[in-house]
Amino acid sequence: MNVAPMMEWTDNHYRTLARLISKNAWLYTEMLAAETIVYQKDNLDRFLEYSPEQHPIVLQIGGNNLENLAKATELAEPYKYDEINFNCGCPSPRVAGHGCFGARLMLDPKVSSQSPTRHFIIHSRKALLNGISPAENRSIPPLKYEYFYGLLRDFPDLRFTINGGINTVDEVNAARRAGAHGVMALAYFGHVDTAIYGAPSSGVTRRQILEKFQVYGDSAVGKYGRKPTVRDVARPLLGLFHSEPGNGVWKRKADAAFLHCTTMKSFFEETLVAIPDHVLDSPIGEPSSGGEDPFANIHTLLPPAYESREQELLYA
């Protein structure tokens, strides 16, 4: 189970919270431009440092300059990330448009084809660079899971992780039963360790998670002068009570607290009164069940084998 990298979201604060909830899910950094790492080589801790508890963790790098990509990888090596991922899929106009990397690299594979990659994360939707937003790219292009499983068949010596449209633990497990080596989703699930990795339930409650996050948060606020702020650190918490009693009031109180709170302790004292004790003292969530298996008949839908298509082109 891989938690998808998201610009301005999967930062240290988000990953700290995610790791308090799941001990096993693979976490990803935000995409860092190779040039940021190269030109900030005297300030790398600000961009690359993380706590040991965040393992397993992947650094995602973006760029189109082979020399800078190599330098960035070398500079990141002492930080001991479990993997380094090269972004060839981001459809954001800032990245694939002005930046000329991310999904744009698929139009010119000269850079991406020179990487010694053995693990590929395949998005099951085509990236459209014709003006639709990144959010729309995650919903408008149709899912083509059969092409992902075609890659598994055609390149058995490589490792493939499936991404796109997978939103529940049941769907994660269904994709793995169909043969996926790994699954990427846009969020962490509170029950991922039990339902996917088979670990005993930790029974950890929201209150216990917040107590530990407060210790982290108060050490992080203002670490680099005025940044990060309480708002920056607390942002990943805003989904913690989704659909629970008191969630709306909690968010309104949080908005007000961001204007003047300077510590996570004071932020929690001011806002958590909105959440009933039974919610704070309950685990994050339980596995969902039921629903249609989107991969049940996937192996009957596979495209022609890669070698066959290649031979057809030779004789066309």
Label each residue of 151-181 as H, E or C.
HHHHCCCCEEEEECCCCCHHHHHHHHHCCCC
Task: Report which secondary-structure segment, H or E, holds 120.
Answer: strand 119-123
Question: Measuring CA to CA, which residue among 38, 42, 2, 7 is closest to residue 22?
Answer: 2
Could you tell me the two tokens for 196?
């996917």
Does an H or E element contain 33, and which? strand 27-33
102 labelled ligand-binding: no
DSSP letter, residue 26:
B
Residues 6+ apart with CB under 8 A from 260: none
Q: Burial, 168: exposed, middle or buried (Cβ in 10 Å; 0-12, 13-18, 19+)? A: middle
Q: For residues 192 and 12, is the Cβ–Cβ distance under 8 A?
A: no
Torsion of CA 128, 129, 135, 136, to 10 degrees: -50
Residue 249, token pair as written in the block: 């009031």
Residue 123 in marked binding region? yes
> DSSP 3-state helix, strand, coil percentages of the chain (rounded to 5)?
45, 10, 45
Amino acid, res. 21: I
Q: Is 163 annotated as a binding residue?
A: yes
Report whether 13 belongs to an annotated binding site.
no
Q: 């149709």: which residue's tokens?
A: 142
Find the catalytic residue in 88, 90, 100, 261: 90
Count of C-beta atoms within a 10 Å radius of residue 271: 23
The answer to whether 60 is a known ligand-binding residue is yes
90 in catalytic set = yes
User: Is residue 54 marked as binding?
Assistant: no
Structure-block tokens of residue 192: 């991922």
**Encoding tokens for residue 259?**
């204007």
Binding residues for FMN: 5-7, 60, 123, 163-165
Give the residue numbers marked as catalytic: 90
